[in-house]
Amino acid sequence: MSNTERALRIGLVSVSDRASAGIYQDQGLPALQDWFSQALATPWHLETRLIPDERSAIEAALTELVDQAHCDLVVTTGGTGPSRRDVTPEATLAVGTKEMPGFGEQMRQISLRFVPTAILSRQVAVIRETDSHAALIMNLPGQPKSIKETLEGLRDADGKLLLPGIFAAVPYCIDLIGGPYIETHATVCQAFRPKSAIRKQPDPA
């Protein structure tokens, strides 16, 4: 099986001092897992991590998920605000080899439709490359509602897409860095690719 035909490997990282200490139940990981279960139409495997707001721990988790678990996509939730303990963006930039600023820009555009404090969010995205593997790492908000809106975008009452979510661009990004071909359920999130990059589906037997 070629690399582009294998199942997608996703790493999910929830960054929270209190949730990792068992003070309250983490909401980020269940929200992300639920969204991917609804959105992805191709096989995928999942790795999850729940860690405190410690830069060294975040860097270690991201590095391990890419370099050892060989995840193609790593998504973090939490730790992207302006407080002293919010260091997820710094850790993400530290392990990345290429910054992908468009992801953070679009996330803030979506959130600004709801609250002016969206400008305080510092989400970033990077590519991490090794000699044999590459992965996209993205920071997402911490709240389940914001996670969903950020990933799939905003629709009007009739279901018409008003503002694309960031995941629409993720499958083609994974194509470009040598990962597996990802298909989505269009009712949740329509993946966008140039016509030349769209694979023809086999005719039913």
CB contact at 8 A, 13 and 58 = yes
- Which tokens belong to 150? 């950020």
User: Which residues 6+ apart lie within 8 Å of 17 measured at CB?
Assistant: 52, 53, 85
As to burial, measured by CB atoms within 10 angstroms (0-12 exposed, 13-18 middle, 19+ buried), residue 54 is middle
Nearest of 158, 143, 181 to residue 35 by alpha carbon: 143
The pLDDT value recorded for residue 4 is 63
The pLDDT value recorded for residue 86 is 95
Q: How do beta strands 73-77 and 134-140 pair?
A: parallel
Q: What is the pLDDT along the chain (205 residues), one digit of tens a residue?
A: 566 679 999 999 999 877 777 877 888 999 999 999 999 999 999 999 999 999 999 999 999 999 999 999 999 999 999 999 999 999 999 999 999 999 999 999 999 999 999 999 999 999 999 999 999 999 999 899 999 999 999 988 888 888 999 999 999 999 999 999 999 999 999 999 999 999 876 555 5
- Per-position DSSP letters for 145-163, written without gaps between them: HHHHHHHHEEE-TT--EEE
CA distances for 50 relative to 166, 176, 190, angstroms: 23, 29, 29
3-state helix, strand, coil in the chain (%, to 5): 40, 20, 40
- Residues 184-187: contacts with CB under 8 Å, at least 24 apart: 184/39, 184/40, 184/41, 185/38, 185/39, 185/40, 185/41
Q: Residue 67 carries which side chain, given as an amino acid letter?
A: D
The pLDDT value recorded for residue 52 is 93
What is residue 83's three-state secondary structure? coil
Question: For residues 72 and 62, what is the distance between their CA atoms, to the nearest angstrom?
Answer: 11
The pLDDT value recorded for residue 203 is 52
The pLDDT value recorded for residue 48 is 97
- Which tokens belong to 132? 């044999």
| Residue 154 backbone dihedrals phi, psi, to 5 degrees | -115, 140
Question: For residues 149 and 126, what is the distance between their CA atoms, to the nearest angstrom?
Answer: 20
Superfamily, domain 3-194:
MoaB/Mog-like domain (3.40.980.10)
Q: Domain residue spans in the chain?
A: 3-194
The pLDDT value recorded for residue 2 is 62
